[in-house]
Structure 1
Amino acid sequence: MRAYERFPLTDVESFSYFVVRDQGRAVAVLPVSLLRGLDPLRQLRTCYPLSGEERGLLSHVWHCYDAWVPGASRPEHVAAVTGAMRELAAELGAAWYGFVNVPSGSWLGETLMAEGFPARHIEDRYQVDLRGMSHADEFVAGASPRGRKNYRRNGRRAADAGVSIRVAPPSETDLAEITQLCATTADRHGTGSYYPAELFTGFVTALGDAACVIEVREGQRLVGVAVSLRERTRFHAWACGVDYEVGGNYSPYPLLYTTSVAQALAEGRDTLEGGRGNHAFKLRHGLTPLALDACLLPV
């Protein structure tokens, strides 16, 4: 959160932090951000009556795809947070307030709906349960038959093309080059501004050991990259970039996933978070979808 506050990757006007206390003891917390243009990924305007350019007070940040209220264990904890959000949104002149990227069917989602928030599906994120696995080959074996063949064929072709793969801390990489590849890839989907160059470089640098970078190179040329985030039990393939103009008949994208799984297993994580979008590939190649909802109300 410190890194994101120093280097906000979207148009954040201000950050606030709620702490819910019960007899002086902190029982729940929630970071929120006031955005100028609350829909940078263009996902809300398809299911809510808004243009996307409105100011909104949202849970945490769009770059986090896992909304929850840390510590909350009772509905009144969530009610305290949403009440404070509504008051702050009105004070700041926001048009909307609420949560994005709430796992569908989660306790938080059900609690918000009981409070009158609608739940609108906006995207899916993808995961791999690594428990019981010891090698990335077991992940490949769990893909569909077509996915398994593609993983193995793609690996052979990449080896024939002389591709090299390395995992490195951000400090040992060219983050400007990495940012450009991520932004170019996102621009294919109309969201290239999601990776502003100076802010993205600063953010990843500020993460320190909480981040690592997986690079795929053909010769000296960067053709694939994943900026990955670490936490206690999960390894996040968080931001990816791919150059499809490669010399061999392969794709760097599957290589990023098999390497991410191998790295997560090496670090003892029990879940790989595979990010949002690219549904056809992920469903075919062994990742499990988790639906994400937005729960918003007008101020």
Structure 2
Amino acid sequence: MFYRHAYISAYEQSPLTEVEGFAYFVVMDGDEPVAVTPAYLQPAENPLRRLHEIYPEAAGQRALLSHTWHCYDAHVPATQEVLPRLLDAMIRTASIFGARWCGFMNVQRGNGLSQALNAAGLPARHLTDRWAAHLTTYEHYLAGLGLRARANVRRNDRRAREAGVTVEALPVDHAAMDDITLLCVKTASRFENTGYHPGEAFTKFVTALGDLAHVIEVRQHGRLVAAGVCLTDETRFHTWTCGVDYAVDGNYSPYGVLFAESVRHAISLGKTTLEGGRGNEAFQRRHGLRPHHLDAVLLRT
């Protein structure tokens, strides 16, 4: 999903974090492209802050980073022939930009890129985890949960219906994007991720994704109480970001309603993997998602 032309183009037109420069690397074998990597010149701060916890020596310095903080799946077919050329190009470009660091973010431990970096003698540092679950049917998904979690999901759905809650999955051009953006901004701020969804840019970015994005609206008596912006590729349904207002009438969780509908909608679209994003470990584990370790590899230029 994060390497689709529509996603990368939308991010260049409406970057969701501060970006000082864009670079797109294409490794060629004759006339055939064999690897691509988008990279972004970013200032010292980042909205998730974790990078400088594991790389304190890079704090306060600009870096050319593979992909953006809104992508949690760095994927480069980096063979032993490809990786040295790609690294050399990234280091040279970082120097041109005046960045002291460059490297890869959110590399899933054990994948092809991870193995190639390790084989090249470049140590990785654990950045965070992303969470995912395999999907078949909704009843099969529920059956895989613990007894208490399964009962809670069903109880929350029932209480939400009794409280007059309605849920609808919509294409972007039919969704209330201004209200959804405001809700996402407030939710991010509650978790001290201020700036992760910069208002107008967020609306433009999501709208530019077209049919790659799906919006789920949860309303109580017409009022928006939760919304999710979800992304899709051939096999995966990404619960990419959301906003939630917990000031509701009735003993139910609007976030729980949104999550359950995300699972159902993913299955209705024929997707076999639910990507739950990063963070919120207790909820993710309780609802059947499993962690995939994501690492960072930074190089000093």
TM range (shorter): over 0.9
* Matched position secondary structure for 1:67: coil
How far residue 73 of structure 1 moved from its aligned partner, in angstroms, is: 5.5
Structure 2: how far apart are the matches of 1:244 and 1:105? 38
How far residue 24 of structure 1 moved from its aligned partner, in angstroms, is: 2.9
Task: Quote the residue 2:11 is aligned against.
Answer: 4
Structure 2: how far apart are the matches of 1:52 and 1:168? 41
- Structure 1 residue 81 and structure 2 residue 83: aligned? no
How far residue 33 of structure 1 moved from its aligned partner, in angstroms, is: 0.8
CA RMSD of aligned residues (A): 1.4
Q: In structure 1, what residue type is equivalent to 2:104?
A: F
In 2, are the aligned partners of 1:140 and 1:258 still within 8 Å (CA)?
A: no
How far residue 286 of structure 1 moved from its aligned partner, in angstroms, is: 1.0
Task: Quote the residue 1:123 is aligned against.
Answer: 128
Structure 2: how far apart are the matches of 1:298 and 1:10? 23
Structure 1: how far apart are the matches of 2:300 and 2:47? 18
Task: Quote the residue 2:193 is aligned against.
Answer: 191
Task: Quote the residue 1:179 is aligned against.
Answer: 181
Task: Quote the residue 2:71 is aligned against.
Answer: 64
Gap regions ≥5 residues in structure 1: none
- Residues 222-260 of structure 1 show CA distances to partners (whole Å, capped at 9, x for unaligned) of 111110111111111101111111111111112222211
- Structure 1 residue 55 and structure 2 residue 57: aligned? no
Q: In structure 2, what residue type is equivalent to 1:5?
A: E
Task: Quote the residue 1:101 is aligned against.
Answer: 106
- Choose 162-171 or 118-127, whichever is displaced more: 118-127
How far residue 107 of structure 1 moved from its aligned partner, in angstroms, is: 2.1
Task: Quote the residue 2:24 is aligned against.
Answer: 17
In 1, are the aligned partners of 2:43 and 2:61 still within 8 Å (CA)?
A: yes
Q: In structure 2, what residue type is equivalent to 1:22?
A: D
Task: Quote the residue 1:44 is aligned against.
Answer: 51
How far residue 52 of structure 1 moved from its aligned partner, in angstroms, is: 4.3
Structure 2: how far apart are the matches of 1:163 and 1:52? 46
Mark the CA change 1:73 to 1:44 in structure 2 (over 3 Å): closer, same or farther. closer
TM-score (norm 2): 0.94
Structure 1: how far apart are the matches of 2:222 and 2:24? 44
In 2, are the aligned partners of 1:10 and 1:194 still within 8 Å (CA)?
A: yes
- Residues 67-116 of structure 1 show CA distances to partners (whole Å, capped at 9, x for unaligned) of 011xx252221221111111111111112110111111222112112323
* Matched position secondary structure for 2:71: coil
Residue correspondence of structure 1 range 132-281 to structure 2 within 5 A: 133-134=136-137, 136-281=138-283
Structure 1: how far apart are the matches of 2:248 and 2:49? 30
In 2, are the aligned partners of 1:40 and 1:52 still within 8 Å (CA)?
A: no
Mark the CA change 1:114 to 1:39 in structure 2 (over 3 Å): closer, same or farther. farther
Structure 1: how far apart are the matches of 2:148 and 2:114? 35
Instruction: Work out the percentage of aligned pairs sharing the same amino acid.
Output: 50
In 2, are the aligned partners of 1:45 and 1:52 still within 8 Å (CA)?
A: yes
Structure 1: how far apart are the matches of 2:15 and 2:50? 20
| Number of equivalent positions | 294
* Matched position secondary structure for 2:20: strand
* Matched position secondary structure for 2:276: strand
Structure 2: how far apart are the matches of 1:104 and 1:142? 25
* Matched position secondary structure for 1:105: coil
* Matched position secondary structure for 1:116: coil
In 1, are the aligned partners of 2:78 and 2:116 still within 8 Å (CA)?
A: no
Superposed structure 1 runs of 4+ greater than 3 Å apart: 50-53
Structure 2: how far apart are the matches of 1:167 and 1:242? 16
- Choose 233-242 or 136-145, whichever is displaced more: 136-145
Structure 1: how far apart are the matches of 2:243 and 2:145? 22
Structure 2: how far apart are the matches of 1:53 and 1:186? 23
* Matched position secondary structure for 2:51: coil
Structure 1: how far apart are the matches of 2:229 and 2:62? 29
Structure 2: how far apart are the matches of 1:116 and 1:179? 43
* Matched position secondary structure for 2:192: coil
